[in-house]
Amino acid sequence: MLDIKFVRENPELVKENIRKKFQFQKVELVDKVLELDVRNRAIKTEVETLRAQRKNISKEIGKLMAQGRKDEAEQVKQAMADEAAHIAALNLEEAQVEEELLKTMMTIPNIIDPSVPIGKDDSENVEIERFGEPAVPDFEIPYHTDIMESFDGIDLEDARSVAGNGFYYLCGQIAILHSSILSYARDFMVSRGFTYCIPPFMIRDNVVTGVMSFAEMDSMMYKIEGENLYLIGTSEHSMIGRFIDHIIPEEKLPLALTSYSPCFRKEKGAHGIEERGVYRIHQFEKQEMIVVCKPEDSKTWFDKLWKNTVDFFRSMEIPVRTLECCSGDLADLKVKSLDVEAWSPRQKKYFEVGSCSNLGDAQARRLKIRVNGADGKKYFAHTLNNTVVAPPRMLIAFLENHLQADGSVTIPEVLQPYCHFDKIVPTKKAK
């Protein structure tokens, strides 16, 4: 969310930023915000004036009563009562205006970084760099769930009976591999100076609206019926929410945290052949990284975060590339975002396995996460997040890139201490 003072002083810049994100229907919201802001300030001024007058009138009543002029004092009391009713009405209007102002402000997108390429959607994201040599073997690679089934490693049919589409049972060595990747991701991030956390898996609505836009909330979050609680879509939600209404001493920054959690997502609109299996699902587990830092440090941390994911995947011998997300592909709170994509030998293309985001002070402003500076002045922190790994989707890249001609899958050395085997051998032929 933007600072109202910034919108007040830079309305055309805010409108142009909205146009760069191709959200033309939101341009008129800037004028609406300015109108609400004017009315809000006018109400506050009027209320302050009336309260000052009430103090003077109260003194006048005392004088009249002392002089024995009771009738005049009663008339003044009535006028004072009328003013009290007027102030109460203004207070009610003020609350309504502030609520509408806040709601409108929360739908206006954050100002994107000047380096962000302009484009309508993810088809116009820009490749930045490739890491590792993408290869296609001289044998056919089955679909990832067929590979898993060859090891008796996945059960989608029974999962559908239990929970519906978008769920799965992982079994045997595939389940061990899944957990091993998460354990390795935890240790990988701890070795890079991050503090490991396990957060709450549910959050209240004020945290939800603090960490994401209304559009994201509608498309992602599961609401717990009868409770003011939502299942988290990623641990970033509860990790950033941890600092709601906090004033953090500047000397404690940066806060570099890595968190594990299950994640729950509606995934509205997900469809297509590559959405089958475990590519896009309603429940998965993930290791995340989160940073709370000073504004001047957020660009440096952004580069550190996405490089961590690249290094993690390369340590498991999986080729990846980075993509700069264009303006139209950025969620409203994001200043800048970069996707890490892994190579799929079967599809002969890359697919997303992680997303690194700099949100500037948008989340901090919504959640009132402030920093107490060395000079005693308070300011809003910057927040960033990035995926270390989400194993169900990462398993696709892992299995395809380590599949052998005989149907077995080799395990890189870095993972062997976690899963205690160096190869998975199929119990039946993949379809």
User: What are the structural domain ranges in the chain?
Assistant: 4-105, 122-424
Average pLDDT over residues 399-421: 97
Q: Is 406 helix (H, G, I), strand (E, B) or coil?
A: coil
Phi and psi at residue 206, to the nearest 5°: -70, -25
The conformation of residue 325, written as its DSSP 8-state character, comes to P
How far is residue 352's CA from residue 431's CA, in Å, rounded to a whole number? 25
Q: How confident is the model at residue 273 (pLDDT cuts 50, 70, 90)?
A: very low
Residue in 14, 42, 44 with CA at minimum distance from that of residue 105:
14
pLDDT at 267 over 80: no
In sequence order, which ranges of 170-242 are alpha helices (DSSP H)? 172-190, 205-211, 214-220, 235-241
Q: How confident is the model at residue 178 (pLDDT cuts 50, 70, 90)?
A: very high
Q: How confident is the model at residue 70 (pLDDT cuts 50, 70, 90)?
A: low
Q: How confident is the model at residue 428 (pLDDT cuts 50, 70, 90)?
A: confident
Average pLDDT over residues 339-361: 97
The amino acid occupying position 205 is D
Task: Return left, alpha or beta for 193; rule: phi > 0 is left, psi -120 to 50 is alpha, else beta.
Answer: left
Average pLDDT over residues 51-73: 66
The whole-number pLDDT of residue 5 equals: 95
pLDDT in tens, 390-406: 988 899 999 999 999 99
Question: How many Cβ atoms are within 10 Å of 151's Cβ, its own excluded?
Answer: 22
Average pLDDT over residues 143-172: 95
The whole-number pLDDT of residue 326 equals: 98
CA distances from 414 to 317, 333, 373 (A): 10, 36, 42
What is the DSSP pairing of strand 222-223 with strand 230-231?
Answer: antiparallel
Q: How confident is the model at residue 75 (pLDDT cuts 50, 70, 90)?
A: low
The whole-number pLDDT of residue 80 equals: 65
Q: Are 345 and 140 in contact (CB under 8 A)?
A: no
The CATH T-level fold of domain 4-105 is Helix Hairpins (1.10.287)
Q: Are 333 and 367 in contact (CB under 8 A)?
A: no
**Residue of 128 and 428 predicted with greater confidence:** 128
Cis peptide leading into 200, omega within 30 of 0?
no
Q: Which CATH class for the 122-424 domain?
A: alpha beta
The whole-number pLDDT of residue 61 equals: 61
The whole-number pLDDT of residue 272 equals: 46
pLDDT at 386 over 60: yes
The whole-number pLDDT of residue 419 equals: 96
- The pTM score is 0.89
pLDDT in tens, 220-247: 899 999 999 999 999 999 999 999 999 9
Mean per-residue pLDDT over the chain, rounded: 92
Ranges 43-57, 80-94, 256-270, 282-296, most confident? 282-296
- Tell me the sheet residues that pair with 291: 256, 384
How far is residue 23's CA from residue 80's CA, in Å, rounded to a whole number? 49
Q: Are 223 and 202 in contact (CB under 8 A)?
A: no
32, HSE (Cβ side, Cα atoms, 13 Å): 16
The amino acid occupying position 153 is G
pLDDT at 274 over 60: no
Q: Percentage of the chain with pLDDT > 70? A: 91
Q: Are 189 and 388 in contact (CB under 8 A)?
A: yes
Strands (E), 104-254: 126-131, 154-155, 169-170, 195-197, 202-203, 222-223, 230-231, 247-249
CA distances from 405 to 106, 152, 421 (A): 53, 18, 19
pLDDT in tens, 130-150: 999 999 999 999 999 999 999
pLDDT in tens, 5-43: 999 999 999 999 999 999 999 999 999 999 999 999 999
The whole-number pLDDT of residue 216 equals: 85
